[in-house]
Amino acid sequence: MHSQIENEQIVERYVRNQLTPEERQAFEEHFFSCDVCFEKLQDAERFRAGIRDAAGRGLLNAKSRSTFVGAPRTRFVWVFAATTCVALLTAMITGWMYLTRVPKLRGERDRALAKLQAERQSRAELERTRPVERAEANVPLVILQASRTEEEPARVLLRPGAKEVVLWIEIGPSRYRDFRLEVLSPQNRLVTSVDHLVRGPYSALAASLPTAQLPTGDFLVKLTGVDPPPASVAGEYKLRVRRP
């Protein structure tokens, strides 16, 4: 039986569905109880699946595929060996990527996670050590009025511990909705400024300035209408800062 199977290429013909119903039934009754023929049949099925996979990947054209499928046993062995080499080469490339590229990507991921964790710890430490802002009592308030050359400047006394001083400016009717406040030194040098001032409930402007930005001395406070353009000076005020 084995010599007949070998000479008549029963295995290859069975895989290609070229046996008669009688031959097919007889071979099936045989290979179910024969480990050798069953192994050969599995090899043939794997080879045929490999040819279909190679054709699907574009490694074989239709002509080559038909040639391999209908080839004699010698060419069958060579094609099976070639398919095996392709599979081994694919496995080698995959293994190389796993051994080189994947560890590199994992290292980059670990470094990014470590950097993110360090930044989170740094922010948490900063939040923990940041001084808590406390409400300030008796905040200095100075009401500014449009200055004239002969008028005395508005005075404000900044006592120790005062962190802010509030400038209150009452203005008349104006076409401007948005204002800019500038504090200038006697040499006309900008000391500090506040943008986007708008009228409050009492039709007045209020700006809070850090006392650290205001040394002892005389200043000119200039109010400029910004929006809608064009911008123009809306008022100038004299301010005198004193400390005990």
- pLDDT value at 142 more than 60: yes
CA 159 to chain centre: 49
Contacts 24+ apart (CB under 8 A), 215-220: 215/241, 216/241, 216/242, 216/243, 217/185, 217/186, 217/241, 218/153, 218/186, 219/183, 219/184, 219/185, 219/186, 219/191, 220/147, 220/183, 220/184, 220/185, 220/186, 220/188
pLDDT per residue as tens digits for the range 112-125? 888 888 888 888 88
Q: How many residues can be counted in the chain?
A: 244
- Which neighbouring-strand residues pair with 241? 156, 217
The model carries a pTM of 0.46
Tokens read off for 202: 């009492």
pLDDT per residue as tens digits for the range 40-74? 877 887 777 776 766 666 655 555 545 544 444 55
Phi-psi region at 48: left, alpha or beta (left = phi > 0; alpha = psi -120 to 50):
alpha
Q: For the chain, what percent of residues have pLDDT higher than 90? A: 30
Q: Which domains does the chain have, with CATH numbers?
A: 1-130 (no CATH), 141-242 (2.60.40.1930)
- pLDDT value at 132 more than 70: no
- pLDDT value at 209 more than 90: yes
